[in-house]
Structure 1
């Protein structure tokens, strides 16, 4: 029955009633004969354990395999394609999900959209700011027009107070002149008194006593001087502090005082004349004393004349001040009448400027471009407020000097405000221009980014490269040989040679799947990582030599041209479908095995026997129910072992039993760079329950410029492949890397086992080291070269029986102590075998010479031994 099922499968495979033609290869190897043939574009390889079927050429990699003894279940691994995916804000690659497909839409969604949105928000914000600034600018212009009104008002006010100030200055100058005249007049009186004293003295010499008259005149002069030095200056001092009305009153008072002085001066002059008559009557007109007095009298009269002239000038000035005071009063009144108007105008601009300042402060809270205006606006607002305060002070000031200073300050402040408002308008205009530039730049940026995404969408390769969309070549199936010529396996390679899609042209001759199938368990070495391939396991190296990384392009453009930091990683996911199908059911439903392999989804719906898979590895065990169809959901992470070099094995299970098939892969991939350096990178995995089969994604990180290699495999866990003989490597072989197709020469594994791991000899004795050599099957290895190195000297061992080698080593020149002997065995076609033996060299024993001295020494020694025995015995008895 079993053979008939296999026949049905092959008939279904070719879909013709033509018997398969094959040429059995009768192998002399202990693993039986190998059969291989082509049938309708597919290659069939059959061993004593497993049959493997795959496309013979022109088709992408699909592998069908089954256990020859239980061929009702066939296993399929379909290499579907490569997904290019991208993770944003991740420094390390995560497992594949379809929503991470690297498309222009994804880049737009995760990176560019926010930038476009931000650019549009910036454009909108700065267009809005332009509108707000224009509104503020209008307020500033209105404020400036108000300032012009205020400036005119304060200019008139200043001019009025300037005029009043000039009148007041003239008044002050005239009061100073009056005071000077008073002092000059007082000086005349002083000179007048001195002359009176001379007259008094001269008259006394002649016997004429005029002291009474002199005293009267002294009293009068004292009164005059008092008016000139104290009274009138005191009145003048009051004029510096009082208003215009009081100034007039004071000037009238000065006029009265001047009239009093003039009246007193008349009396003084009369007394002088009377005194003169008394003197003439006493001495006679011609007396020499009378003549002397006459001269002095003329001097006194001269002083009186001068004084009277000063009094006239003082009164004239006082009357002039009264006239100026009237005009000053008019000017001050006019100036005061303009204060209220100026206050109103300044209050108006104060409110306007306050609005402008508030607007600017609000805008500056959100836009740094407006911050430069804040200080200017605030200072203007402060200046205007200060101006209002000055006007209030001016309104209550009676001091013309102070009023003039305040009026000037008001005008200067308003001028400052005008200048500042002009500056504000200028800065607002500059800021509006800058806003326009920013908005335009943002608009251009948004448009440019949209265009960029559109260009990317048209330019980039799709995120998925379907292997079925291209043409593949299959190399001839060739032997893998050991050093001795023994065929231990076969090898073949799928090479991607032609890609119709121009977006994936770069993959031509840059993608291959190297396959190796071993008849015996071997140990493969890849980049210093060693692992075992069991008997009847098909090893597949997925080799990708080139990939056009989208991330490189977007980083170069977005970061360099747009200043957008791209924080993310790009990765590739190898898409593989894994299924186990019932061959009889496929045949019953008239579905060929080829059709099933190429359309696993349809085949699994009709004939799947796969219900679960166990994903197992070191510290990893995941059970997946593949009966569930989750293909509309996102892929899930599949844990892989963390320790470098560990495998994840996916066992194929039915509801009742293990189906025997497995798919597995190592948790690292190798990247070979153009300079020859190699690097291992972690591999991740994801999966989907696909309703009767497993959809698997093996994930690889970015490997720019390098060649990516990863080696999944398929096989069977059956009686013939799980025994120690089937799992213990017999050969070791260097796996091909980079663009290589063929592996290195396989070497049989050889082990060296010393007869003893530690030997002790006395110095001078010959040391003998024996080593047995066996291959992986436990057979003796003959005719090998075995060398033993001890203390820097190497000795060649001799084969003393099949597979047993002995080396004799003299120890005469070796000092007592511990050593390690290193054993190295080699033979063409075998691996190098090494072992080590610990050696202890003890001091040589003392030599006994027969003679008198010897006898004495011996006697002494015997006596010592006897003594020692007795002491030991006593100690023992004492202890008991």
Structure 2
């Protein structure tokens, strides 16, 4: 702002060199004359103690004030704006810092970025998993191709062993048949022996003794039977082994045994013929015995023929077995030659499947989607290992039956592995598809969150609302009156009416700063909290009726649509710059006071006298060196008193002395909700040393749907404002709340003081209670109504002298004991005054009787009465 008449006038005003032309608004108040005028868009209020200057309208709240007697130092409080800030992972609000400004960038950094990063990591992880699964799938496919090779090898192996098994089965059948033939042949020999016995008996009847020949033939038949029943079966039992060489040797041995039996049979037949000739010679051919023997001889020859046929069949089977043995040998040799190939193929797939299994187990350790494959893969691996063990066993087995079973088992196992690998491939393909879906979902989520942040950045209001960027209306400066019409202060309000920035349109008519300036000390009451406003203190109520909370939108979107839990809190910080400037230095540097107030940073660099501030409150004392410029650093917490209703006072100091100005605020704010309920919330603070001035941030928590009210104030600590008269409240007043702009009617403070706080009287005596009433200035309060309540009965006191009231109370009906008399005094325009008096009612005293006769008579009378009572009591007991 260029140097103007306004600047010259204000500088002159500070220096008290020029007295501006005005007509005082009021001059007959006991506290002095109030002057106010408007010049060049600024309002000036002057009392006997302080001068206050602030924008007259259109501009945001800036307050300039100075002590009239020492006006070289000018104090400035500049309401700069509101910061919206956010703290992550905090359930309670912390002090403001600029790096917590609620922006889309902050949300991205503290919440969304991690989610985007996680989504991208998920996408990358599942894309990587897809690649790994594809690699595993290729291994599985190769393993399956290897399984086909192994399956072919085991199929051939099984067929070879099946062929060998069939040959062996035929051999076993033939050996069984040989054994059956042997038993049948042995039966022929048994029949032969029986027939011989009949021949022997018939010859003996005719006197022909052929027993020696019969004995020889019995011996021969025993040899034959022994061969057939014992020797040949014993050889046959040895053919159960797979050793083909031994089998052939045994069959040759059976052929030898058969030839031996055949030779014995020739001898037997010869002996039979010799015996027959002996019998014919002895009896003659026509003898009936000879004829009978001839029949038996024919039977014997028939047995020999049958036996010879069986021997032929046995030998034929033995020779056939020898031929089969050669083929069995070839088949077993072929089968064995295929075991090695099968083992090799199975070992190959074992390694492949092991790799697949290891891959799957590793992936399953990090991805639950792969877990379903683990058991299948492990079971396949176990089956293949078992197959290898079976092949090793097969390689050492000589039993064709066992070998055939093992070969079948090998083939079945490989088939199982093939089926399982097909299943693994299917599951891998399913998992790959699922991975693709998850990766796509994660990619979409990341893209969506990025787009969301971009949309927020374009949509959200900036974190800082500059008060200077909007238009404010200033209401007329009006009086604050006591009930009797006495003006005790003035009031005015800054109202935000127009915001050009569409992002902050919601603030129009929803933000104001109510101001009250008292000529006398008063007691303000807000939401049951009482505090004192001293003389010449400008009390301000920062009232914010609406705020668009970004946190609400974040929670609604992130939690409901994305399942992201938002753990944090949003708060607002009222930004205020506080400075003390040297008016003469500003004038010397050709800078008007208004220019200085509007640009504190520049003014402080030229003319600041503020070097320190003391922030003091109950159990709080902080000294801040504001000469340091820490504006490039983050804000620091400023402790505030913890006890509810306590103030933090910031005293403005120079290097040498106190500058007299102060800024203070209470440690709680009030929130009024639409339903009328009220809540008090803790207020925090932060600050920055700004190189000659203090940058202060008063911090408020989330208050969605309510109206926030907080009351900072400015003033002077000088002789006129620190005396008991200036600090002891004279009036009490209800401060405005919500959308109100005017306070309630001020009531003069009245106190009631009993003449005595405790009185003792005897029962029946009249009790007199006196009370004096005075206002805050110590003046007697006359014509008041004073009532005293004792034991449920209320008595009206009478004014016996100015401000002194007396009530007479009878005690006839009051029992001895302790009581409390409640005193209540009222008068229009005054506060209700209350007091209490402790009352002791003693028993009524006994009468003193003079004279011996009277004493004796009294004693006799008392005794008679006592006796009568006792007698009456005994009679009553008898009746009962």
- Tell me by how many angstroms 1:168 deviates: 1.0
Larger CA deviation: 204-213 vs 255-264: 204-213
Partner of 1:834: 834
Q: Is the 8 A contact 1:2 1:70 kept in 2?
A: no
Larger CA deviation: 614-623 vs 443-452: 443-452
CA separation in 2, counterparts of 1:756 and 1:231?
Answer: 146
TM-score (normalizing by structure 2)? 0.93
1:32-87 CA deviation, whole Å, 9 max, x = no partner? 22211211111111111111111111110011111111111111100000011111
Q: Which runs of 5+ in 1 are unaligned?
A: none
Q: Taking structure 1 as reference, are residues 112 and 3 closer, same or farther at Cα in structure 2, changes over 3 Å only?
A: closer
Partner of 1:816: 816
Q: Is the 8 A contact 2:669 2:682 kept in 1?
A: yes
CA separation in 2, counterparts of 1:509 and 1:569?
Answer: 26
1:235-276 CA deviation, whole Å, 9 max, x = no partner? 111111241121111111112222222222333333344444
SS of structure 2 residue aligned to 1:326: helix
1:384-433 CA deviation, whole Å, 9 max, x = no partner? 33323322332232221122122222222222222222222222222222
Partner of 1:767: 767
Q: Taking structure 1 as reference, are residues 208 and 604 closer, same or farther at Cα in structure 2, changes over 3 Å only?
A: same
Q: Taking structure 1 as reference, are residues 18 and 646 closer, same or farther at Cα in structure 2, changes over 3 Å only?
A: closer
CA separation in 2, counterparts of 1:45 and 1:122?
Answer: 67
Q: Taking structure 1 as reference, are residues 878 and 234 closer, same or farther at Cα in structure 2, changes over 3 Å only?
A: closer
Larger CA deviation: 287-296 vs 640-649: 287-296
Q: Calculate the aligned-residue CA RMSD, in Å.
A: 6.1
Partner of 1:381: 381
SS of structure 2 residue aligned to 1:24: coil
CA separation in 1, counterparts of 2:473 and 2:7?
Answer: 28
Q: Taking structure 1 as reference, are residues 145 and 49 closer, same or farther at Cα in structure 2, changes over 3 Å only?
A: same
SS of structure 2 residue aligned to 1:23: coil
Q: Is the 8 A contact 2:12 2:18 kept in 1?
A: no
Q: Is the 8 A contact 1:798 1:805 kept in 2?
A: yes
- Tell me by how many angstroms 1:446 deviates: 1.8
Larger CA deviation: 476-485 vs 128-137: 128-137
Q: Taking structure 1 as reference, are residues 48 and 862 closer, same or farther at Cα in structure 2, changes over 3 Å only?
A: farther
Q: Is the 8 A contact 1:578 1:695 kept in 2?
A: yes
Q: Taking structure 1 as reference, are residues 362 and 606 closer, same or farther at Cα in structure 2, changes over 3 Å only?
A: same
Q: Taking structure 1 as reference, are residues 314 and 810 closer, same or farther at Cα in structure 2, changes over 3 Å only?
A: farther
CA separation in 2, counterparts of 1:684 and 1:394?
Answer: 87
Q: Taking structure 1 as reference, are residues 198 and 761 closer, same or farther at Cα in structure 2, changes over 3 Å only?
A: farther
SS of structure 2 residue aligned to 1:2: coil
1:349-408 CA deviation, whole Å, 9 max, x = no partner? 233333333333333343333333333333333333332332233223222112212222
Q: Is the 8 A contact 2:14 2:583 kept in 1?
A: no
CA separation in 2, counterparts of 1:2 and 1:330?
Answer: 123
CA separation in 2, counterparts of 1:190 and 1:229?
Answer: 12
Q: Taking structure 1 as reference, are residues 586 and 243 closer, same or farther at Cα in structure 2, changes over 3 Å only?
A: same
Larger CA deviation: 704-713 vs 27-36: 27-36
Q: Taking structure 1 as reference, are residues 789 and 304 closer, same or farther at Cα in structure 2, changes over 3 Å only?
A: farther
CA separation in 2, counterparts of 1:562 and 1:676?
Answer: 36
Partner of 2:340: 340
Q: Taking structure 1 as reference, are residues 486 and 15 closer, same or farther at Cα in structure 2, changes over 3 Å only?
A: closer
Partner of 2:130: 130
CA separation in 2, counterparts of 1:557 and 1:636?
Answer: 33
Q: Is the 8 A contact 1:13 1:594 kept in 2?
A: no
Q: Is the 8 A contact 1:203 1:209 kept in 2?
A: yes
Q: Taking structure 1 as reference, are residues 863 and 414 closer, same or farther at Cα in structure 2, changes over 3 Å only?
A: closer
Larger CA deviation: 289-298 vs 97-106: 289-298
Q: Taking structure 1 as reference, are residues 799 and 184 closer, same or farther at Cα in structure 2, changes over 3 Å only?
A: farther
- Tell me by how many angstroms 1:869 deviates: 34
1:667-706 CA deviation, whole Å, 9 max, x = no partner? 1111111121111111111111111111111011111111
Q: Taking structure 1 as reference, are residues 207 and 748 closer, same or farther at Cα in structure 2, changes over 3 Å only?
A: farther
1:636-695 CA deviation, whole Å, 9 max, x = no partner? 111111111111000011111111110000111111111211111111111111111111
Q: Is the 8 A contact 1:78 1:597 kept in 2?
A: yes
1:465-521 CA deviation, whole Å, 9 max, x = no partner? 000000011111112122222221111111101000000001011101011111111
Q: Taking structure 1 as reference, are residues 303 and 2 closer, same or farther at Cα in structure 2, changes over 3 Å only?
A: closer
- Tell me by how many angstroms 1:848 deviates: 4.4
Partner of 1:322: 322
Give yes or no for the alignment of 1:639 onto 2:611.
no
Larger CA deviation: 674-683 vs 127-136: 127-136
Q: Taking structure 1 as reference, are residues 828 and 305 closer, same or farther at Cα in structure 2, changes over 3 Å only?
A: farther
Q: Is the 8 A contact 1:9 1:583 kept in 2?
A: no
1:749-771 CA deviation, whole Å, 9 max, x = no partner? 22222222222222222222222
1:325-372 CA deviation, whole Å, 9 max, x = no partner? 121111112212222222222232233333333333333343333333
- Tell me by how many angstroms 1:840 deviates: 1.9
Q: Taking structure 1 as reference, are residues 620 and 875 closer, same or farther at Cα in structure 2, changes over 3 Å only?
A: farther
Q: Taking structure 1 as reference, are residues 608 and 866 closer, same or farther at Cα in structure 2, changes over 3 Å only?
A: farther
Q: Is the 8 A contact 1:767 1:811 kept in 2?
A: yes
CA separation in 2, counterparts of 1:112 and 1:395?
Answer: 66
Q: Taking structure 1 as reference, are residues 16 and 677 closer, same or farther at Cα in structure 2, changes over 3 Å only?
A: same
CA separation in 1, counterparts of 2:30 and 2:45?
Answer: 18
Q: Taking structure 1 as reference, are residues 477 and 875 closer, same or farther at Cα in structure 2, changes over 3 Å only?
A: farther
CA separation in 1, counterparts of 2:3 and 2:795?
Answer: 60
1:276-330 CA deviation, whole Å, 9 max, x = no partner? 4445555566666555555544444443333333323222222221221121111
- Tell me by how many angstroms 1:562 deviates: 1.9
CA separation in 2, counterparts of 1:838 and 1:202?
Answer: 163
Q: Is the 8 A contact 2:188 2:306 kept in 1?
A: yes
- Tell me by how many angstroms 1:7 deviates: 10
- Tell me by how many angstroms 1:450 deviates: 1.5
Q: Is the 8 A contact 1:521 1:533 kept in 2?
A: yes
1:108-127 CA deviation, whole Å, 9 max, x = no partner? 12222222222222222322
CA separation in 2, counterparts of 1:605 and 1:877?
Answer: 107
Give yes or no for the alignment of 1:84 onto 2:71.
no
Q: Is the 8 A contact 2:60 2:471 kept in 1?
A: yes
Q: Is the 8 A contact 1:763 1:841 kept in 2?
A: yes
Partner of 1:366: 366
CA separation in 1, counterparts of 2:525 and 2:296?
Answer: 149
Larger CA deviation: 710-719 vs 234-243: 234-243
SS of structure 1 residue aligned to 2:535: coil
SS of structure 1 residue aligned to 2:822: strand
CA separation in 2, counterparts of 1:786 and 1:173?
Answer: 138
Larger CA deviation: 341-350 vs 13-22: 13-22
SS of structure 2 residue aligned to 1:590: coil
Q: Is the 8 A contact 1:848 1:854 kept in 2?
A: no
CA separation in 1, counterparts of 2:663 and 2:326?
Answer: 121
Q: Is the 8 A contact 1:581 1:603 kept in 2?
A: yes
Larger CA deviation: 291-300 vs 779-788: 291-300
Q: Taking structure 1 as reference, are residues 841 and 304 closer, same or farther at Cα in structure 2, changes over 3 Å only?
A: farther
Q: Which runs of 5+ in 2 are unaligned?
A: none
TM-score (normalizing by structure 1)? 0.93
- Tell me by how many angstroms 1:857 deviates: 7.2
Q: Taking structure 1 as reference, are residues 291 and 375 closer, same or farther at Cα in structure 2, changes over 3 Å only?
A: same
Q: Taking structure 1 as reference, are residues 6 and 363 closer, same or farther at Cα in structure 2, changes over 3 Å only?
A: closer
SS of structure 2 residue aligned to 1:860: helix
- Tell me by how many angstroms 1:601 deviates: 0.9
- Tell me by how many angstroms 1:803 deviates: 2.0
CA separation in 2, counterparts of 1:784 and 1:61?
Answer: 43
1:209-242 CA deviation, whole Å, 9 max, x = no partner? 4443333333222222222221111111111124
Q: Is the 8 A contact 2:8 2:592 kept in 1?
A: no
How many residues get paired?
A: 880
Q: Taking structure 1 as reference, are residues 295 and 577 closer, same or farther at Cα in structure 2, changes over 3 Å only?
A: same
Partner of 1:462: 462
Larger CA deviation: 104-113 vs 266-275: 266-275
SS of structure 2 residue aligned to 1:365: helix
Larger CA deviation: 547-556 vs 178-187: 178-187
- Tell me by how many angstroms 1:135 deviates: 2.4
Q: Taking structure 1 as reference, are residues 26 and 185 closer, same or farther at Cα in structure 2, changes over 3 Å only?
A: same
CA separation in 2, counterparts of 1:753 and 1:3?
Answer: 60
Partner of 2:238: 238
